[in-house]
Amino acid sequence: MIKAILIFNNHGKPRLSKFYEHYTEDTEQQIIRETFHLVSKRDENVCNFLEGGMLIGGSDYKLIYRHYATLYFVFCVDSSESELGILDLIQVFVETLDKCFENVCELDLIFHVDKVHNILAEMVMGGMVLETNMNEIITQVDAQNKMEKAETFIFQSTRQDR
Amino acid sequence: MPAVSKGDGMRGLAVFISDIRNCKSKEAEIKRINKELANIRSKFKGDKALDGYSKKKYVCKLLFIFLLGHDIDFGHMEAVNLLSSNKYTEKQIGYLFISVLVNSNSELIRLINNAIKNDLSSRNPTFMCLALHCIANVGSREMAEAFASEIPRILVAGDTMDSVKQSAALCLLRLYKTSPDLVLMGEWTSRVVHLLNDQHMGVVTAAISLITCLSQKNPDEFKTCVSLAVSRLSRIVSSASTDLQDYTYYFVPAPWLSCKLLRLLQCYPPPEDGAVKGRLVECLETILNKAQEPPKSKKVQHSNAKNAILFEAISLIIHYDSEPNLLVRACNQLGQFLQHRETNLRYLALESMCTLASSEFSHEAVKTHIETVINALKTERDVSVRQRAADLLYAMCDRSNAKQIVAEMLSYLETADYSIREEMVLKVAILAEKYAIDYSWYVDTILNLIRIAGDYVSEEVWYRVIQIVINRDDVQGYAAKTVFEALQAPACHENMVKVGGYILGEFGNLIAGDPRSSPLVQFNLLHSKFHLCSVPTRALLLSAYIKFINLFPETKATIQEVLRCDSQIRNSDVELQQRAVEYLKLSSIASTDVLATVLEEMPPFPERESSILAKLKKKKGPGAVSVTDLEDNKREGGELNGGGDRGPDTSAMAASNASTPSPSADLLGIRSAAPIGAAPTSAGSLLVDVFSEAGPAAPSAAVNDDGFLSSAPPSEDPAAPLSEADDLLNKFVCKNNGVLFENQLLQIGIKSEYRQNLGRMYLFYGNKTSVPFASFSTTVSCPGELQSQLNVQSKPVEPVVEGGAQIQQVLNIECLTDFSEAPLLNIKFRYGGALQNLTLKLPVTINKFFQPTEMASNDFFQRWKQLSQPQQEAQKIFKANHGMDTEVLKAKLLGLGMALLDNVDPNPENYVCAGVIQTKGQQVGCLLRLEPNAQAQMYRLTLRCSKDSVSRRLCELLAEQF
């Protein structure tokens, strides 16, 4: 099971946090900090797996991460998941984001937190993997975008927006 | 106004985010956020009804603020309102807010449930998915109650869209995990299993997680999934890379699903059906073959996906552990990976090999890679990989390679990361002991360990070396010589001083013949370290000194001089001062014979499981590091005398001054222990309580109306107390220590101590067989009203008891008020697969809390008369069961805990006793009179207590004793 999915940048600023188990807000923030601390001090080219921090469950859990340009994508999983499988899943997630945002960058994640959550929700649900086929995911996301657009044009033409 | 970009932009949101990003300082950011929070709050509270768009925008802002780490304490209601919007965008943002911010305890769940109910019945697949997601994300019990029966229907209905099916499968899984009792699969089982055959791979992907979880919990009901999984796997593995279209990932067909299918198969033993098994073996061979084929792409994703399947296949092969051919191939494949340039593969190969090393078919094959693994330990840049290498070395160690592996681990220790040193030390210590053929090697290894990593050598390790040296006389001389040499170093670790002090104190005589290590030289060497050591070590050294006086009378004057100096007999530390004073006195007044007896060489320690092994196991098996509970463990090791675990120092002390209240002589340590008053009644013990009241014959459904229990196999419930449980209990009324229970498999020993209304009981579970007990667990429960009378807290025990080993459990007991029943101890474990389940009564009886009270004859009778109300007295006349020997009777009465009063009863044949029972709430005064009639072989027993229930209970208990 996936316990948490975290994205933060090279400075530890969270860009997405999704917990599939309940923690208090404080603990969630501490977990993000702890995870950043564990992951960021690692060299490039070392392995992509390490034991989880104490807050997230210690050695029963693994952190599996990838580092892309300015962002770290970290999945915290238990022993029932295949490490390499999760690495591939991260890749699918990133490629999907890349397709949806057309060359995704950190700013896209900042300004479209809700979108990122929706895309993730098409892949992972309640800590389990829902779909791994990128085209299927994108089809769902596109369908949502269409509905959204239709509604936007009907209900919102011009307005003072602040 | 600018046109809305991409049709989805919310300008206000973008501006706010930009503002935040432009903030120069944390303070500015907080200020901006607070301003925005105030703005949103006022908008939400304002009179003007907000349109859906504005609500959506504000909720998005709140999400962003939340992500930055700020608490959001409002907006929940607005989000719930968005759920009932007809517009997709608004509904969606409402659900998003709830899945991120609402936890399962929220009071809003009922409102949310309403919205979900509407969406589930909307037949709009998008809305249904949103609702299912929300259930899966929140997963509260209330949601399970509301939807657990609905979701399976959606999952298996013929007209459900694939995407909804996927969501429904995972939603159900989540509910099953949080409230398994509410999800009743029964009628759905076979249809759910058949989802493995679904045409849509996405549905299979989601369903397999559900099926795996259900199979783990109910393997029998779901075992048809094995053949379905094999055929699905076989179709994927044999397909061309283009057959599965979108589910082909970098030229690998459906890697994720393949991994999950292989995982599912790991829930079961190898298929019994020959055809299915043949097909599976074929799949596994194909997967192994593919690993040798040239890659279809140079991309790392390609090899990742391929290897993900390969590693799962290898795990399955190891899990089956029945195909020598496949096992050896797997081992060779892993061997290749050990030298792979990808760090990830090296890591995983080391990890898999660790499990492979324990298979008898492949242990030898794994051993051939020793050089590579040692090299990995020395050269890997990544500490996670080095740690795996150390684990593997530990797992592959046997008699043939122990010396090499221990030497390599020792040399690695000098540079090892701090985070893994303690574990490494334990592993080295265990291997050295386990595979020691000549014990001089063992002694050398441990002393090296102390030299290299002294700070990480825990008490267990140095206790253990002393135990072994004491038990083996062939190594004592060597040990004395070696520690003597080790202590020559100008700076040596304090642990070395402890071991040195102890061993020279016991066996210094074995090297005293050599003038270079004459008694005085030995003493001066030890004493030169004295002032640099901590109090416990100094205490140990003082004991070594007094032992020296016995071993070498010629050192007596020198040592007495040392003891006599102010820094010793006036030391500010009570323990040290006391030892100095007592040892000095002992050495000056006791005759040589007395000295020789008191300070005799330590007797051999009883053999039992190495305490170090127990400690490593505590660290969750090979590979895991976590330091918890260890402090406790250490302390108990030192305090609980009588077993092999005892700290050497304590025993030396006990030999010299048994009567003095030194910290280590305080066996109970109750005073310093944490208060036991906290409510210990866990849900688990509640359940047991109910059971023991209902009795074994009552149907379990009566206990818990939700039916979960009734579906559990009956053998998992605590068994009814053994028929002889009462007899066993009676054996312990007048004594505190002994063997409580014994059968062919298990022996349970007890040591207990009581003081006032508190007690501590040590239970020793001994495995009499050579096979480990698995899933070993114990539960202590207080049935019925006992729950409010007695407080029993227990620490969990190790889940595995190795063959021939013994584990210990400590119970803390507090008597709240007087009681009649005994707490129940339920023990469950698996022996060779069969569940053993037995329940005993714990010998905690009211008399354990007696404080003896001495009183004179007239006091006694005065009080006797005061307790003259009829209900205060209990009397029984009964036949003697055990003979009427005076001494035996006296011993029993003393064991009872009361004071046995002489010269009180006018008839010298009679016995009278007095005592006060200490409970938390009150004290109960008790008087006893036992009148034997030797001619008739009868007794008359009379009890008078200030509380009538106590009189009755004591009378009942005692009537069985004489």
Q: So where are chain A's domains?
A: 2-161
CB contact under 8 A, A46 and B68: no
* Mean pLDDT of the region B307-312: 95
CB atoms closer than 10 angstroms to residue B42: 9
Q: Do B137 and A125 touch (CB under 8 A)?
A: yes
Contact between B522 and B504 under an 8 Å Cβ cutoff? The reply is yes
3-state secondary structure B319-387: HHCCCHHHHHHHHHHHHHHHCCCCHHHHHHHHHHHHHHCCCCCCHHHHHCCHHHHHHHHHHCCCHHHHH
Burial class (CB within 10 angstroms; exposed 0-12, middle 13-18, buried 19+) of B903: exposed
Instruction: Tell if the CB–CB gap between B7 and A140 is shorter than 8 Å.
Output: no
Which two structure tokens, joined as six digits, stand for B20? 């935040």
Q: Which CATH number fits domain B723-844: 2.60.40.1230, 3.40.1280.10, 1.10.3080.10, 2.40.37.10?
A: 2.60.40.1230
Share of chain A above pLDDT 70, in %: 93
H or E stretch including B521? Answer: helix B519-530
Chain B residue numbers touching A14 (CB-CB < 8 A): 67-69
Lowest-confidence range among A51-60, A61-70, B3-12, B87-96?
Answer: B3-12
pLDDT of residue B705: 36
Cross-chain Cβ contact B67/A83 below 8 Å: no
pLDDT, one tens digit per residue, over B910-962 is 888 888 888 887 888 888 888 888 888 888 888 888 888 888 888 888 888 87
For A32-88, what is each residue's pLDDT tens digit? Answer: 999 999 999 888 888 999 887 777 777 788 999 999 989 999 999 998 999 999 999
What is the total residue count of chain A? 162
How many CB pairs (< 8 A) connect A and B?
195
Per-residue model confidence as pLDDT tens digits over B888-902:
888 888 888 888 888
Q: Give the pLDDT band of residue B857 (cuts 50, 70, 90).
A: confident
Among A77, A124, A130, A147, the residue to mutate for chain B (most B Cβ within 10 A): A130
How far apart CA B242 and CA B254 sit, in angstroms, is 11
Please give the order of strands across the beta sheet that includes B773-781.
Answer: B773-781, B824-831, B834-841
* CA–CA dist A35, B399 (Å, integer): 41
CATH 3.30.450.60 assigned to domain A2-161? The reply is yes
- What is residue B613's predicted lDDT score, i.e. its pLDDT? 74
Of B14, B66, B304, the CB nearest to A87: B304
pTM for the model stands at 0.64
Residue B451 to residue B489: CA distance in whole angstroms: 10
* Nearest Cβ partner for B173 among A51, A128, A153: A128
Residue B1 predicted with pLDDT over 70 = no
Query: Smallest Cα–Cα separation from A160: which of B43, B8, B94, B53?
Result: B53
Residue A130 near chain B (CB below 8 Å): yes
Is residue B530 within a helix (H) or strand (E), and if so which, with residue range?
A: helix B519-530
A110 inside 8 A of chain B by CB: yes
The answer to whether A161 faces chain B, any CB pair under 8 Å, is: yes
Rounded Cα distance, B896 and B890, in Å: 10
The DSSP 8-state label assigned to residue B625 in this structure reads: -
Stretch B287-296: mean pLDDT: 90
Q: What would the mean pLDDT of B295-309 be, rounded to a whole number?
A: 91
Contact at CB, A136 and B137, closer than 8 angstroms: no
Going from the C-alpha of B603 to that of each of B118, B468, B553, B658, B869, the distances in angstroms are 78, 12, 22, 17, 55
Residue with the bigger pLDDT between B731 and B712: it is: B731
Instruction: Report how far residue A162's alpha carbon sits from residue B142's, in angstroms, rounded to the nearest whole number.
Output: 39
How high is the pLDDT of residue B116?
92
Are A16 and B67 in contact (CB < 8 Å)? Answer: yes
User: Average pLDDT in the B367-386 region?
Assistant: 89
Q: Please tell me if residue A126 touches chain B, with a CB cutoff of 8 Å.
A: yes
DSSP state of B801: B
Measured in degrees and rounded to the nearest 5, phi and psi for residue B911 equal -115, 135
Cα B388–B391–B396 angle (5° rounding)?
125
CB contact (8 A) between residue B53 and residue A132: no
State whether residue A133 sits within 8 Å of chain B by CB. Answer: yes
Cβ-nearest to B166 among A92, A127, A131:
A131
Mean pLDDT check: name the lowest of B388-397, B451-460, B712-721, B923-932: B712-721
Residue B719 and residue B710: Cα distance in Å, rounded? Answer: 15
Residue A63 is given by DSSP the state E
Residues sharing a CB contact under 8 Å with residue B774, sequence separation 6 or more, in sequence order: B799, B800, B829, B830
B87 chain-A contacts, CB cut-off 8 A:
151, 155
pLDDT (average), residues B150-167: 90
The distance of B173 to chain A (nearest Cα, Å) reads 9
DSSP labels for B881-947?
SS---HHHHHHHHHHHTSEEETT-SSSTT-EEEEEEEE-SS-EEEEEEEEEEETTTTEEEEEEEESS
What confidence score (pLDDT) does residue B203 get? 93
Phi-psi category of residue A49: left, alpha or beta, with phi > 0 → left and psi -120 to 50 → alpha: beta
The pLDDT value recorded for residue B106 is: 65
**A3 neighbourhood in chain B, CB within 8 Å:** none
pLDDT at residue B528, as a whole number: 92
User: Under an 8 A CB cutoff, do B381 and A43 touch?
Assistant: yes
The answer to whether the Cβ–Cβ distance between B256 and A49 falls below 8 Å is no
A107 touches chain B (CB under 8 A): no
> Which residue of A47, A60, A130 is in closest CB contact with B167?
A130
* Contact call for A129 and B60, based on CB within 8 A: no
Of B307 and B898, the structure prediction assigns the larger pLDDT to B307
Per the prediction, chain A carries an average pLDDT of 87
Distance in angstroms (rounded) separating the CA atoms of residues B409 and B393 = 8
User: What CATH code is assigned to B847-961?
Assistant: 3.30.310.10
Q: Which residue of B has its CA nearest to A101?
A: B6
Question: Of B143, B151, B205, which to mutate for an interface test with A (greatest number of A Cβ within 10 Å)?
Answer: B205
Q: Residue B710's pLDDT is what?
A: 33
pLDDT digits (tens, 9 = 90+) for B228-268: 999 999 999 988 766 677 788 888 899 999 999 999 999 99
pLDDT, one tens digit per residue, over B334-358 is 999 999 988 999 999 999 999 888 8
- The answer, yes or no, to whether residue B541 has pLDDT greater than 90, is yes
Contacts of B946 (CB under 8 A, 6+ apart): B867, B872, B924, B925, B926
Q: Do A47 and B344 touch (CB under 8 A)?
A: yes
Tokens representing B566? 């102010």
Confidence (pLDDT) at B9: 61
- Helix B26-45 with B11-22: angle, nearest 10 deg: 150
Check CB contact under 8 Å for A129 and B68.
Answer: no
What is the per-residue pLDDT for B608?
A: 62
Instruction: Give the Cβ contact number of residue B882 at 10 Å.
Output: 11
Phi-psi region of B214 (alpha: psi -120 to 50; beta: other; left: phi over 0): alpha
Binding residues of B: 11-12, 43, 53, 57-61
What ipTM describes this predicted complex? 0.91
Cα separation, B511 vs B504, in Å, equals: 9
CA-CA distances (angstroms) from residue B43 to B47, B223, B537? 8, 57, 70
Cα A159 to Cα A141: distance, rounded to the nearest angstrom: 27
Q: Say which amino acid occupies B145.
A: E
